[in-house]
Amino acid sequence: MSQQTTPDFGDIKVVRSGRRAATPGVLNQGTVGQPTPTVIVQPEIKEHKAPWIARFWWLPLLAVAGIAAAMWGHNYYNQRYVGSDYWAQVPATQDTTLVESISDSGQPTGVYGVHYFLTAFNEAGESRELDFVFHSDNEASVPQPGEYVWISASPTIVVRQHVVPADEVPASVRELIAAHRGQ
């Protein structure tokens, strides 16, 4: 039984065969024993490439992960390094003797400073207990008892601090500090 291929019609291939139809009388108009042409339709198999989204399915996941990481990083930065303004007055009992810092391994670092634990107020009247070390090379440059200190503090750390004159401290904050000190 030989097969002949007819011209190509796109995705459909028409093949002629010398076989008889499976149900005589329906498709077979010929007589018994004579081959009847049968049309067999076969789809042509082509190599299809997946669309780009199927090949790069991980790309949207990477974009979402990148956006989530950026949002987390922004929030972390704001919570850790962006401070609010607070003011405090160094108490009269504060020891301002410079002490050398000690590393975690117990070795001296060569860095000197004074440890402060102050109650500070912001302009809204909120108070916070702030704990920090004021680093300096000489005792004259550290905040002395009675001086005002401006402190930029984030929710987690004291970002920076320096001594300010009394006229740079808001009047409402000076009143809160005086009331806290009992003066």
DSSP calls for 148-173: EEEEEE-SSSEEEEEEE-GGGS-HHH
CATH topology of domain 84-181: OB fold (Dihydrolipoamide Acetyltransferase, E2P) (2.40.50)
pLDDT digits (tens, 9 = 90+) for 79-116: 999 999 999 999 999 999 999 988 899 899 889 999 99
Q: Rounded to two decimals, what is the model's pTM?
A: 0.64
Could you tell me which residues are beta bridge partners of residue 129? 119
How many residues are there in the chain? 183
What is the Cα–Cα distance from 174 to 121, expressed in whole angstroms?
9
Q: Which residues pair with 115 in a beta bridge?
A: 133
Q: Indicate where the chain has its CATH 2.40.50.480 domain(s).
A: 84-181
- Per-residue pLDDT tens over the stretch 2-41: 555 555 555 544 455 555 445 544 444 555 566 656 666 6
- b/e map of 64-101 (b: 16 or more CB within 10 Å)? eeeeeeeeeeeeeeeeeeebeebbbbbeeebebebeee
Question: What is the predicted pLDDT for the residue at 24?
Answer: 47
- Give the contacts of 44 (CB within 8 A, at least 6 positions apart): 8, 10, 11, 12, 13
In degrees and rounded to multiples of 5, residue 83 shows phi and psi of -105, 160
